[in-house]
A and B are shown apart, each in its own frame.
Chain A
Amino acid sequence: MSGGAAGFHRRCRALLRKELRQMLRDRTTLAVGLLLPLVLILLFGYGLSFDVKDAPIAVVLEDTSPTARDVTAGLAGSPYLAPVWTPWMHDAVARMRRGEVAAIVRVPQDFSRALAGGGARVQLLLNGADPTTASALEWYVGGAIGTWAAHRAGRAAGKEAAGGIVQVEPRTWFNEANTSTWYLVPGLLVLVLTLVGAFLTSLLIAREWERGTLESLFVTPVRPAEIVLCKLAPFLLIGAIDIVMCLLAARFLFHVPMHGSLAVILLSAMLYLAVSLLLGLAISGITRNQFKASQVALLASFMPAMMLSGFVFDLRNVPVIVQVVSQLLPATHFMALVKTLFLAGDNWRLIARECAILLLYVGVLFTVTCRTLRKRLD
């Protein structure tokens, strides 16, 4: 009566209905599952950026000649810089100390004379407390002044000499604009799926242990694998909505290009979602305690995914031991996959390898979770 495919279908239908109802009636679950990703998308997309825009800089014009004014005029046209002009160096230094400006461009008194002599120099003072901004400013200010110098040289030498000037035009591949949003948003997909997976499912089995519902469930003809499958399914649905949300935001809100095929992106995202949900379930089944489960889930999945998956730090620059650890994280593999798919295109060898690794995780975690639900209380 209880065996066979008919029993399996009937029980799964009953369990699935139960899990769906519980999920839909739990507002916290829905908030974590659907609102949190939205907040993360907006936060990471708009709030968190490694780019420098409208950086305040002080321009000290100790030389008041038109040439000196001309050299700094280019700075005002840059979208990255917001210059403030001042004739006194001490004023600029005071502003820097107060944190009002991130850099000082100083045009010395003898600038025009030195320029005529062929050896003009402009001083650039950077605030090293924020190295990311400092190096970006160095790049922008240097670029702006360099451009001016090149133009001037071109004008002065006339048409015939123009060919003699070599200009370095920097260009970045795969992220042509070199905007960090392009690189953050695909990573965001990894974070959202990790967070949502771990938080939603890490409570599921532990809650049933705490409320004593598992004891009643165990003495029914239900099989452990059925419980796991039915706990997984409703959250795959929520996760799928999150994936679509992330992809839509990437495409239409942040205009991140998608060089790889959409189908592969979707497929691999679903695969990683399953890994993430199963990791939460396994933690839940092992700890049997909601508080412990959520703590462990945070420490074991979200934090490493944030720190070690290559989201923030380039993994090639970290010590070997950290590289080894990061390779053990499913997030690292999905991160590599998703960045390649978004920014480089379909690399079938990489896709096959990383998907196989994710599939292996699904298998292992599913087995572990089933074992935590062996119908025993000891």
Chain B
Amino acid sequence: MTGAAIVATGLCRAFPAPGGTAVQAVADLSFRTRSGDLVALVGPDGAGKTTLLRMLAGLLRPDAGSLSVLGIDVAADPQAVQDRISYMPQRFGLYEDLSVAENLDLYADLHGVPTEVRRERFASLLAMTDLARFTARPAGQLSGGMKQKLGLACTLVRSPALLLLDEPSVGVDPLSRRDLWRIIDRLVRDEALSVVVSTAYMDEAQRCAHVLVLHEGRLLAQGTPAELRARAAGCTFTAVPPPGMAARALQARLIDARDLIVDAVPKGGAVRFISVPGADAASLRPLLDDAVVTVRQEELEDAFMMLLRERQRERGAVPSAQVRERPAGNDDEAPVIVVRDLVRRFGDFTAVASTSFDVRRGEIFGLLGPNGAGKTTTFRMLCGLLPASSGHLEVAGLDLRRARAEARARIGYVAQKFALYGNLTVRENLQFFGGAYGLRGTTLRARIDATLAQFGLDPAARSGELPGGFKQRLAMAAGLLHEPEILFLDEPTSGIDPLARRDFWRTITALAARGVTIVVTTHFMEEAEYCDRIAIQDAGRMLALGTPRQVREQAAQDGGAAVDDMDSAFIAIVERGRRAAGMEAAA
């Protein structure tokens, strides 16, 4: 039990990059983990987590260094390692045309699980994953969360000596995420498995015995969650803004003071921030104004953000996007988006059922919901990309049923996937999209120059070779060229690192302050805190609508206990909604 599960020394691995250069995915990595431990690999996208896991699974050969897994040299005998481990890739390879049971059988056969063991094992896996009802359903017809659970079940058809999980909870809604972790916890407890799990969620790393923090292929820090947390000790505070001041405004002011503040995020109506170690109270005072500041317990997330900022500072600061704030318009204006009894059906399936809400000018409005809740459908109808089956829809004062093209000229849209041309330069992309929106000549040039400066973009760079956060900026820049009144953002922050996400939200809050209305979908619940109001959807129905505080209170009413984070609020509301729907169906 106390032997080493993994011993890595000086591990390196590079990949050729499109520009003819090489990207060092993993650089000089040395660490060891004990067997029986739950180990977390933490780091933003592009940190090298997947590369490391693939090397552990014997699927990639290291360029340099040595790697021993379960006492076996992986490079020398990958099959011997593969015979003893189970590995769940980020997108687990389910055969979509095979049923749940057939997928399980296939992997059990391939791993040589005896029939008598199998029956019991399948029963417990299906119970754990709550898939017992769906054994005959083709895997392709499961929801995202269910697929992920089936992937985990297929990985666990036998008891491996080591379990490798690559971001098992990515793209999975909070409910499914909770279920997944229940399974992992149980396995570690009952079967004393060694597990390595990569994750972008700090609350998941918190559950692990050992945490490795990776960034750009390097190991920034490692240790128990408590050891890592201690790095942020004494620097973590919560500030409650004075009445009349939005938490978002205070957060914006704090995060702009980079010399003093490591990080600041709005949460539950207050702002959680981390000061630079050694920053004295006197220099913080002017920033905080009348806010009530209390010391709070440091968390893993705080330590992680400190590590990332230190690293960023060492490498020299990146230009951040600059948006000048202008006073917002009058709050009493007529709403810019009016949605009344909106319905969308696909055949006999109702994707969006009778939904109504308003969005005011300069508001940040968040659409939240589990996978398949109908948020993308709602979103597409708002952008005029999809006609509604029935109901009234008004965007920027125009009825979308009649004046769709006119309405489109007044909105900007940033798609979930990078929808720009990868082999054009930044300037060429902007020229094209500006032209598509009808900008020409000096107006177009002036707008492009202004946007380039605003987002800190290099006009000559190839768009496809930009790092994730900059691609995001370019997509935003293209959506904002024609100075739309309303900006639609579909899952804008998936796949970009926490620092880039902070920058992104800073831009968004500044845009809102200028009077641009923002409608955004996200699956990061903590990002809901940046929104003025949010709507939670599930199975096409609107379950909650209001300010983040109102939504939390609504969740608390039902649960009894106070709910101070969006994740729990979201789970409580969706679960109650589903219970109610179940009762209706039963009645």
A contact residues vs B (CB 8 Å cutoff): 1-2, 7, 10-11, 13-15, 17-18, 21-22, 25-26, 208, 211-222, 375-378
Contact = CB atoms under 8 A, between A and B. Distances in A.
Interface in B48-98: 54, 57-61, 78-79, 82-83, 85-89, 91-98
Contact of A376 (B60, B91, B96): B60
Given A375-B59, A376-B60, A376-B61, A217 B110 contact: yes
A221 B78 contact: no
A219 B57 CA distance: 7
Given A7-B112, A15-B106, A221-B83, 6 more contacts: A25-B97, A216-B93, A219-B82, A220-B110, A375-B82, A377-B60
Contacts of A214: 93
A15 B109 CA distance: 9
Contacts of A1: 83, 112
Given A11-B109, A26-B97, A212 B82 contact: no
A22 B98 contact: yes
Contact of B102 (A21, A212, A213, A218): A21
13 contacts: A2-B111, A10-B112, A11-B109, A13-B109, A14-B105, A18-B98, A22-B98, A26-B97, A212-B92, A216-B154, A219-B57, A219-B86, A221-B79
Nearest to B154: A216
B114 to A, nearest CB: 10
B59 A213 contact: no
Given A14-B110, A22-B97, A212 B61 contact: no
Contacts of B92: 212, 216
A7 B109 CA distance: 9
Nearest to A3: B83
A233 B94 CA distance: 22
B376 to A, nearest CB: 22
Contacts of B105: 14
A217 B93 contact: yes
A18 B106 contact: yes
A214 B94 CA distance: 10
A240 B154 CA distance: 34
B107 interface: yes
A4 to B, nearest CB: 11
B61 A378 contact: yes
Contacts of B110: 11, 14-15, 217, 220-222
B89 A376 contact: no
A212 B97 CA distance: 14
Contacts of B95: 18, 22, 213
* Shortest 8 CB-CB contacts between residues of A and residues of B: A213-B93, A14-B109, A216-B93, A220-B110, A212-B91, A219-B87, A215-B89, A377-B59
A2 B83 contact: yes
B529 to A, nearest CB: 34
Contact of A218 (B15, B59, B111, B155): B59
A315 B496 CA distance: 59
Contacts of B54: 377
A197 to B, nearest CB: 22
Contacts of B94: 213, 216
Given A10-B112, A14-B105, A21 B93 contact: no
Nearest to B157: A220
A375 B79 contact: yes
A11 B112 CA distance: 8
Nearest to A226: B110
Nearest to A21: B98
A2 B60 contact: no
A267 B222 CA distance: 64
A222 B85 CA distance: 13
Nearest to B82: A219
Contacts of B155: 216
Nearest to B90: A212
User: Which has the most chain A C-beta neighbours within 10 Å: B91, B93, B98, B105?
Assistant: B93
B96 A211 contact: yes
A26 B98 CA distance: 11
Contacts of B59: 215, 218-219, 375-377
B109 A211 contact: no
B50 to A, nearest CB: 10
Given A212-B89, A375-B79, A378-B61, A220 B111 contact: yes
Nearest to A209: B93
B49 to A, nearest CB: 15
Nearest to A208: B93
Contact of B93 (A11, A14, A211, A221): A211
Nearest to B98: A21
Contacts of A217: 93, 110
B357 to A, nearest CB: 38
Contact of A220 (B15, B61, B82, B88): B82
B183 to A, nearest CB: 18
A236 B57 CA distance: 33
Contacts of B78: 375
Contacts of B91: 211-212
B166 to A, nearest CB: 9
Nearest to B57: A219
Contacts of A222: 110
Nearest to B99: A21
Nearest to A211: B93
Given A1-B112, A212-B91, A215-B59, A21 B97 contact: yes
B72 to A, nearest CB: 14
A219 B83 CA distance: 7
Contacts of A218: 57, 59, 82
B313 to A, nearest CB: 34
B97 A10 contact: no
User: Which has the most chain A C-beta neighbours within 10 Å: B86, B106, B107?
Assistant: B106
A208 B98 CA distance: 13
A208 B93 CA distance: 8
Nearest to A215: B89
A378 B96 CA distance: 25
Interface string B224-244: 000000000000000000000
A1 B114 CA distance: 11
Nearest to A221: B83
A1 B84 CA distance: 11
Given A212-B92, A375-B59, A14 B98 contact: no
A219 B93 CA distance: 11
A22 B99 CA distance: 11
Contacts of A216: 87-89, 92-94, 107, 151, 154-155
A25 B95 CA distance: 12
User: Which has the most chain B C-beta neighbours within 10 Å: A215, A375, A376?
Assistant: A215
B4 to A, nearest CB: 21
Nearest to B88: A216
A10 B79 CA distance: 17
A217 B83 CA distance: 12
Nearest to A11: B110
B61 A221 contact: no
Contacts of A376: 59-61
Contacts of A377: 54, 59-60
Nearest to A216: B93
Interface in B109-168: 109-112, 151, 154-155
B101 to A, nearest CB: 11
B102 A18 contact: yes
B109 A378 contact: no
Contacts of A17: 106, 109
Contacts of B58: 219, 375
Interface in B336-355: none
A375 B55 CA distance: 12
